[in-house]
Amino acid sequence: MLRDISLFLAGPGVTAVIGPSGCGKTTLVRIAAGLLPPAEGGVRNGFGRTACVFQEDRLLPWRRIADNVALGLRAAGVSRHARARAAAAALQRVGLTDEDGRSYPHQLSGGMRQRAALARALAVDPDLLLLDEPFGATDFVRRQRLMAVLRSLARDNGKTVLLVTHDLTEAAALAETIVVLAGGPGRLADVVVPETLPDDRTPADIIALTGRLAGVLASGPDPAGTTME
């Protein structure tokens, strides 16, 4: 359950949402995506195209990976050849090959399927990308590459990304703004605004910010509702 939450994404950039299990992070993404209606209040989405990637890859098992990646484009009426080109480019962007694209989902590892799900979202060139624990099954090296993809989306392509993650280091390394849900079911504990942009963060910066985030989670909500800067 979410309570007293008001979230505004102006974009472009990456906003991360962190918090303990069961605090409502996934619910927040589902509401933002229009998949769940809020019990109170409402959602206004002024972005042109929205794409979502959830913890489960949700690939269609009877379709090849490239066809899965092109599903959104097919629904938008994009020609077959244009879909194939866009799907191949999206697969390459997340580190998958043409051979992977010819495979069926059951022939790929869990991490590869998650990357294919991200490629499916990227293929439609979304203005708003909603991500719910998208890197959970990927190894460290692949995760770093995918994080670089997200940084490029926000910095070079002017996209807005909302990332739900349990990984504090991931949030510290990637996001310009970090929303912390803690101190009770679905309550906003704090908003942390890192002092440096993603490209400027050193390992020491990331470690220090990770420690700050852990402190916010441990202490619960700030009764004054202040913003850490």
Q: Give the rounded percent of residues in the chain with a pLDDT score beyond 70.
A: 86
Mean pLDDT computed over 201-218: 82
**Domains, in order of start, for the chain:** 1-48+127-229 (3.40.50.300), 61-124 (no CATH)
Strand boundaries in the chain, DSSP class E? 13-18, 50-53, 128-132, 160-164, 177-181, 188-192, 227-228
pLDDT confidence of 157, banded at 50, 70, 90?
confident
Contact 31, 52 (CB under 8 A): no
Q: What's the one-letter identity of residue 10?
A: A
Q: Looking at per-residue confidence, does 187 or 7 come out higher?
A: 7
pLDDT confidence of 71, banded at 50, 70, 90?
very high
Helix axes 140-157, 110-123, angle to 10 degrees: 10
Q: Looking at per-residue confidence, does 141 or 107 come out higher?
A: 107
pLDDT confidence of 227, banded at 50, 70, 90?
very low
Query: Exposure pattern of 185-200 as b/e (b: 16+ CB <10 Å)?
Result: ebbbbbbbebeeebee
Of 5-19, 87-101, 192-206, the one with minimum mean pLDDT is: 192-206
Q: What is the pLDDT of residue 88?
A: 95
Question: At residue 116, does pLDDT exceed 90?
Answer: yes
pLDDT confidence of 197, banded at 50, 70, 90?
low
